[in-house]
Copies of this chain bind each other. A is one copy, B any other.
Amino acid sequence: MNQHTIDVGIVGGTGYTGSELLRLLARHPRARVRLLTSRGEAGKRADVLFPQLRGVCDLIYSQPDPAALAECGAVFFATPHGVAMGLAPALLERGVRVIDLSADFRLRDPAIYRRWYQQEHACPALLADAVYGLPEVHRERLKKARLVGNPGCYPTAVQLGLLPLVEAGAVDNSQLIADCKSGVSGAGRELKLGSMYCEAADTIKSYGVAGHRHLPEIEQELSAVAGGSVRITFVPHLVPIVRGMQATLYARLRDPGLDVQKLYEDRYRAEPFVDVLPAGEVPETRSVRGANICRIAVQRLGGTVVVMSAIDNLVKGAAGQAVQSFNLMHGCDERAGLDAPPLAP
């Protein structure tokens, strides 16, 4: 294993995924964050925006400067959609590895990107090289990747929950249901009425029922696994928690006698960050709070299989998974920086 320190840049580190990258990388044995950029907060210390980082990180936001970023070994983009695809090509040319937490490099088809993100893709030629950063599917490709499109939070919970069934061809792929519940941090740190305390507290609300941007990404990846079309009814709900996401998944079994518990245990036995619960138990999101873990329970009810898949949307659903890909790309221990136990209660 290569043991030198890797200089890291973070573009757009003023949101929750950015601050989470700072938290995780602060204890990473080989990564050192050298550059932290923000157009809006340039000149401010990160620990003024995020007082929890006092004593942990003394970086100051700078204006994003391609030349300075090109000095890094790896650059994370924790930016809104549309930013990474503007800067990535130049960085890649300079040999910088790029891990994009936005949607810019998740979808292979630029037409689908345009439809869901209302903009033309800036570098469609790179889409073929980009590796979708779900290590449980693409681990070997990630080890050699130069450009990673880090999955969204819903796609992570849903795909890890459905993978064993879809890989095994065990269910009717035309009528999968994903009833998802997300904490409010999934909506980011931007000001939005629906993210206000008095709007989101003490209530449950579904949203995006008619169509959510994370759906094409899920269908693209699961269809590739299935070798055919996979169709999902995807209904996200907002619940009053800060971090945490559960996907409750329903599928019709082709063979109602299938031992689904064994299927899942076998599939994920070697995975460092997927935990299949013993039969009869159910996950709760707080049991993964702050940790890069997906806990999964599976239950058969007649001909229907119910899968419960829980993650911390900011960690396994965003920054932690990005660090996991970073580790694979740089030959680090896959667990580096990701070994702090979850925080509960």
Q: Which residues of A contact B (CB under 8 A)?
A: 16, 19, 23, 26-27, 50-56, 175, 177, 179, 181, 184-185, 189, 191-193, 195-207, 209-210, 231, 233, 235, 237, 239-246, 248, 250, 252, 275, 277, 280-291, 293, 295, 297, 299, 301-304, 306, 308, 310, 339-345
19 examples of A-B residue contacts, CB within 8 angstroms:
A16-B345, A27-B340, A52-B291, A177-B250, A179-B179, A181-B181, A184-B196, A195-B196, A197-B197, A197-B201, A202-B286, A203-B289, A205-B283, A209-B297, A209-B301, A233-B304, A239-B241, A240-B240, A290-B290
CB distance from A129 to the nearest CB of B (A): 33
Tell me if A202 and B205 are in contact (CB < 8 A): no
Distance of A299 Cα from B212 Cα, bound (Å)? 14
Contacting A197 at CB < 8 Å: which of B55, B200, B280, B287? B200
Distance of A302 Cα from B176 Cα, bound (Å)? 12
Most buried by B among A23, A198, A205: A198
In the complex, what residues of B have CB within 8 A of residue A231's CB? 302
Distance of A339 Cα from B339 Cα, bound (Å)? 12
In the complex, what residues of B have CB within 8 A of residue A51's CB? 277, 281, 283-284, 287, 295
Tell me if A306 and B209 are in contact (CB < 8 A): yes
CB distance from A38 to the nearest CB of B (A): 15
Tell me if A206 and B50 are in contact (CB < 8 A): no
Tell me if A237 and B246 are in contact (CB < 8 A): yes
Distance of A342 Cα from B22 Cα, bound (Å)? 11
In the complex, what residues of B have CB within 8 A of residue A281's CB? 51
Tell me if B56 and A341 are in contact (CB < 8 A): yes
With A189-B196, A197-B242, A304-B177 in contact, do A343 and B202 touch (Cβ < 8 Å)? no
Q: CB-nearest residue of chain B relative to A51?
A: B287
Contacting A289 at CB < 8 Å: which of B52, B239, B304? B52
